Each structure stands twice: as C-alpha cells, then as structure tokens.
Structure 1
Amino acid sequence: MMTCTPLFLCYLLSLSYCLCLEPISISTGVYFGATAGLAAIYASSSWMKCAVYECCNQALDPIVARNSIKYDFGDKLKSDFKKKLHGQHIAESIVANALIKHMKDKEPRKALVFSFHGWTGGGKNFVSYLIARNIYFKGMKSSYVHLITATEKFPDPTKAPQYKLELIEFIKSKLSECGRQLFIFDEIDKVPSGIIEGLTQFLEYSIEPKEQSKAIYLFLSNIGGSEIARVTYNFYMNGMNREEIELRDIESLMNLHAFNEEGGLKKSSLIHKSMIDFFIPFLPLEKKHVQRCVVDYFQEKYNITKKVNDRLVIEIADELDYFPVDAKVYSKSGCKKVARKVDMRVD
C-alpha cells in the first residue's frame, strides 16, 4: 500500500483544485481556472522543493524556512560579533550594519563589496565564516556561498586570461540561480594580475535593479598589514585606546597599498572606479584578545569553561610570539595558533 506523505497530499490537493474548477464561460472561465490551477501547482511544487532543498527566497513557513536564506540575521550576527570577535571594533560595527542594510533592500542598485585587510590571525576568515553562518542555514556549506582561494583556483599566472573567463562564467552561472550569493576571495593579494578585473561587470552601480546587485563579495588579504599595525601601535604609544581608532584613520592607507602592491587589486579598476564599498582594517591582536580566543576555544571544542585570568589560559597565551621586541604588545599570529596550543594541553 502506498504511503501518502504530507508533501504528496499537498500536491494532490493542488492538482484536484486545478481539475475540479467549474468554467465560468468557454472563453474566460477555462483560461482563468486553468491559470489559477497551474499557479496552485507551481506554488505547491515550489513549497515542496524548498522543504527539501536550499532556497533563495525568504520563507515564513518553519518547514521551508530552515532551507531559506535568513534575512532576519541582524541581531544574531551582531551578537556573534560582540561575543566572539575580539579586538576588531571597526569590523564589528561597519560590517554588520552594511550587511543588514544591503539584505533589507529588495532591489539594491549595487552589489555589496568589502575588502578585509590585516595580518594573519586577526579575524578576516572568522568574520567571513560568521557572515555565512548567520545568513545561510548551511553556512559555509551553502550552495550560495563560494570560497575562492587564490593559490588553489589560480595557481598558474600564465593562465590569467583563461582564469578570468572561467571566473566570469562561474559567477554568471551562480547569479542566475540566486542573486543572494556570497563570494569570498581569500588571498586576494596572490591572485594573478588581471583576473579580478572580470568582476567589474558585476560590481558596477546600476540605474535599474538587477539580480546580480543582490550579491556580497569579500576580498581577504594581508596587504596593508604593516601600516595597520603601525597606526595601531602609534595610538598605543600615545596612550590612546585602540577603540579610538576610526576607519578614516586607516582606510586611505589600505586603499593606497591595495592599488599599488603586487596582487589581484594592483592598478585595479575596482579601486579606481570605487567599486569596493568598504576597506576594513583588522588590527593586530593584543595578549588580552588572545586570552579571550583561548577561552572561546576551550568552551567550543571541549565544553570547558575558563576565565581570561585563569592560569592555564595565561600560560597558553604566553606561548605565542609577540612584537615589537622591546614591548611585546601584539601577537605575530593573532589567534591562529590558539587551537593547536589548547589541543596540546587537553588530555
């Protein structure tokens, strides 16, 4: 005996609705009746698809919503930034607010583009992960999230023209499926020259709303890391809190270095034509921030609660290398080595 699932019953009901309509007249009744029936079938099939597969639209039905994009992510993302992103007040404020406004706009005129700058371990990849996790139910595994690592995707500089065409086709294909895509370009400073220029057609401002303008692009690089560290240290030496650093204190420096240093954005029209909306600095992390990363990892990996002033937490943070040599204020690797250090201490 065949088992009737709720999805199958929904389909039958919509089909019977179509077949049982009584024509109002030969000319109009059949047309409108058939149209309404087909619409019901389409709506039903769309519901069934989104109940099983990931969907681009926003949904209120709890069964469908679990596979849909989370447009109400704002409060959760801000909470995650506040609790888990340490020492990056500029990113915490600007990134969250810009994302919220972009996702609330049903017909944006331009794709949202960030360029994240700073030394390794500062949180660039972590912020990308939090963005994906809060907007898409499947997070980094979502079919709408694409991590493009330069050394993996573009290993041969002599094939730059070929890579550029392949990138254009790839993005076109993904945008045709859903405008709300997230493209993360890691190691943008290692992308061969010319490839990123292929993105200009997707990032330009449009007078008319386009599906491609709903997308989000993240460029991650170490470019400008030294200048960011220099500005941060100058504030420290002048007795100022790092939280007093504003985007305007560093943004022009990042823009300049990204445009002139070797890498995917060198002499790029993306910068020249102001297609990058925000240059976000990731400041070097102090020991207190590293200690918070240690506490977070203990909790998330081992469900062990620690405090930042716990002796073991301090010992693990002390194992990392710090600079400058005479002051030892900032971690050379940020929080990148924390996981390995903690793992070595847990039996």
Structure 2
Amino acid sequence: MRGCVIFTAYFLSSTCFLHLVVCIEPISGISAAAALVAAAFLSGYDVLKSYVTETCGDRWIHNNYTGLPKQLNEKLYGQHLVLRAVNNHIRGHLKSAEPAKALALSFHGWTGTGKNYVSRIVAEHLYKEGMHSKFVHLISATKEFPHEGMVPFYKDQLRAWIEGNITRCSRSLFIFDEMDKMPSGLIDTIKPYLDYYENLGGVNYRKAIFLFLSNTAGGDITQYVYQHWSNGYPRKDIKMADVEKIISRAALNSKTGLWHSELISKHMITAYIPFLPLEKSHVRRCIKDSMVAKGYVLTDDRVESVVEELTFWPESEQVFSVTGCKRVAEKVDYVMEEY
C-alpha cells in the first residue's frame, strides 16, 4: 500500500517555512523518506542560521553603493578628490558580477584627514554589521607586524590569513592601517591575490576589496596644497592626476611598506587617493558634529574655544590643522568641562 507523509517546518514565527510531501512505498521507501526529511531539516537549518548568524550572503552584505556617496558628501569635509574616487571605484567594482581583479585603493595623507573614517563608512555601507562584520578585517601594522626580523614568519601568517578569509567569503574587505610602518617587503605577499587570475588554487579572489592606509606623502601633499592656496587658487581646482604623481613618487622613494613593492611595479594598486590637509573651516564642522553627538549645546563661542585648543600650520597664517579632526573629540570634552 502506497502512502504519503506531509512534513511542514516553521521557523521564526512562520517568517520562513518548509512544506514537504513524501509519498513512499511500504518498507522499501522508508529510508528514502527519512533521507528527504533529513535534507529538509538541514535546509531549514541553513535558512534559519542565515537569519540569526552573519553569513556571506545578500542578507548580511548589502553592497549599498547608492547610500555611500550621500554619507560621504554629508560627513566627509574638504576631500573632494576622495569623494569622487572612492565612490566611483567602489561602485564600479560592486556592479561587476565578475571584476577583472580585486579592488586595491591606497589612501595617503596626514593624520586626522579621514582615512580611517572613510574606511569605516565603506564598511558600514557594504556590510550590515559594519566594522564588526566577520568579513571586515582591520590590520594594524604596528600591532600585527612589530618586528623587522620576523618578515618570513609574517609572510606565511599573512598568506594563510588572507586565503582562509576569502575562502570563507569572497566578498571580504581588508583594511591595512599604518602601511608606512609595515616591514619592507612584507606586503608583496598579497600580490597574487590582487592580480588578474580567474582563480588561484580554486579560489576566486577578484571580488575582495583592499584598502591601504598610509601617512606616506602626507607632507608632500600638504606642501602642494599650501602652494596652491598661496597662489590664490580654489581648493576644488586641485586635480587627482596632479596629486597622484606626488604620492606614487613618494611611495617609490621613501622606505615605507610599499617601498620597492611589486604592488607598485606590477601596477596592482587600482588608485592612489590623496587626503588633503584640513583647513579651519573643515575642523569647525568636525567640532560641531562632535558636540552634537555628545549632546552638548552648540554655540559659536564654544566651537571657537575648541578651535583655540588645536594647532594649525604655518604658524604665521594658521591655515591647516596639524592633526586634522583626530583630536577634536577629546578637545571638545576638555573645553566643555568649563561650561
């Protein structure tokens, strides 16, 4: 006698359900039915898991490149070159179903100009968990690679780490901070993963994104912008091509993490992106954002009191902030203790 079993499983208050009808022959079909039921349970478990645990799928990786330019425009000050470059490169990479290679953007500029800030905004718009996502990886050169004499060990460590993470999720984001302090030659380890290979050892690395953050060329960029300002030209007239030359020359000649690197000689870096020194007007906007975020009453006098606690350069003209917006939050707290 032939019979049918109806099997239904509900998850998350019927948000997700499985409905399975199994028709079997007596005895001989029992094992087949058991296998089908087990498969249904496993499938339901995978669906349920994707709801409660971060997985490498569209539910957790948004690729929200439409919201990225809006956030950058609203919260990143004085960086017109960064706005266009980051938005266009990220958008172009994500819109391609099969990118030609992994995206590699090298951020350069003085401290406090927004390199880490932009990295965080990118992470927040691509991953539901932002910087807390297990597919976003922040590597500090001074913390992870402190000893020059251990480069061979670090190379093995870095290679295994990148391969393991991209094998788990091809849409991974890697942020290398303090590249200028990385031991020379170490970064060449990742060259194969930035190349044009369709797969390497059976793994596709071309969907990954690498961001390299460095103070290299910060002084040269500042000198160029100061000269531009001294000649009376508007800041927004500065072109990417002019500053990119300064960065690539500094990266080649200064003993930093990219010095003599194959990433440069083999043209593995997608773009060198300059972060210009911030002027007082930009720092004032950072101060206002910080005061509002901390719940302080915002007044012009209080903003100027914070400005007076910061250092600007050159001494005679007081144009550019020495530390950008990096020390703004602590100076806001310090000043507001007096009110």
Q: TM-score, normalised by structure 2?
A: 0.88
* Range moving further from structure 2, 232-241 or 111-120: 232-241
Q: Is the 8 A contact 1:164 1:194 kept in 2?
A: no
Q: Is the 8 A contact 2:198 2:204 kept in 1?
A: no
Give the corresponding residue for 1:61.
none
Structure with the higher fraction of residues in strand conformation: 2
Q: Does 1:249 align with 2:239?
A: no
Q: Is the 8 A contact 1:295 1:305 kept in 2?
A: no
Deviation at 1:208, TM superposition (A): 6.3
Q: Does 1:320 align with 2:303?
A: no
Give the corresponding residue for 2:6.
none
- Aligned CA distance change for structure 1 residues 34 and 183 (closer, same or farther; 3 Å): same
What secondary structure, in the 3-state scheme, does the structure 2 residue paired with 1:228 have?
helix
- Aligned CA distance change for structure 1 residues 316 and 108 (closer, same or farther; 3 Å): same
Q: Is the 8 A contact 1:190 1:263 kept in 2?
A: yes
1:68-83 to structure 2, matched below 5 A, reads 68-71=60-63, 73-83=64-74
1:284-295 to structure 2, matched below 5 A, reads 284-295=277-288
Letter in 1 for 2:161: F
Give the corresponding residue for 1:114.
105
Give the corresponding residue for 1:6.
11
Deviations 1:253-304 (A, max 9, x none): 10111122112110000011110001000000000000000011112222x4
Q: Which runs of 4+ in 1 moved over 4 A?
A: 7-11, 33-43, 207-210
- Percent identity reads 39
Q: Is the 8 A contact 2:287 2:332 kept in 1?
A: yes
Aligned-CA RMSD value: 2.6
CA distance in 2, matches of 1:340, 1:177: 39
Structure 2 stretches of 5 or more lacking a match? 1-8
CA distance in 2, matches of 1:338, 1:246: 28
- Structure 2 counterpart of 1:236, from 219, 224, 229: 229
Number of aligned residues: 324
Q: Is the 8 A contact 2:101 2:196 kept in 1?
A: yes
Letter in 1 for 2:190: L
Q: TM-score, normalised by structure 1?
A: 0.86
CA distance in 1, matches of 2:225, 2:37: 64
Give the corresponding residue for 1:222.
215
Structure 1 stretches of 5 or more lacking a match? 59-64
- Aligned CA distance change for structure 1 residues 211 and 305 (closer, same or farther; 3 Å): farther
CA distance in 2, matches of 1:104, 1:305: 43
1:97-108 to structure 2, matched below 5 A, reads 97-108=88-99
Deviation at 1:46, TM superposition (A): 2.5
What secondary structure, in the 3-state scheme, does the structure 1 residue paired with 2:66 have?
helix
Structure with the higher fraction of residues in helix conformation: 1
Give the corresponding residue for 2:275.
282
CA distance in 2, matches of 1:314, 1:336: 17
Q: Is the 8 A contact 2:199 2:205 kept in 1?
A: no
What secondary structure, in the 3-state scheme, does the structure 2 residue paired with 1:116 have?
strand
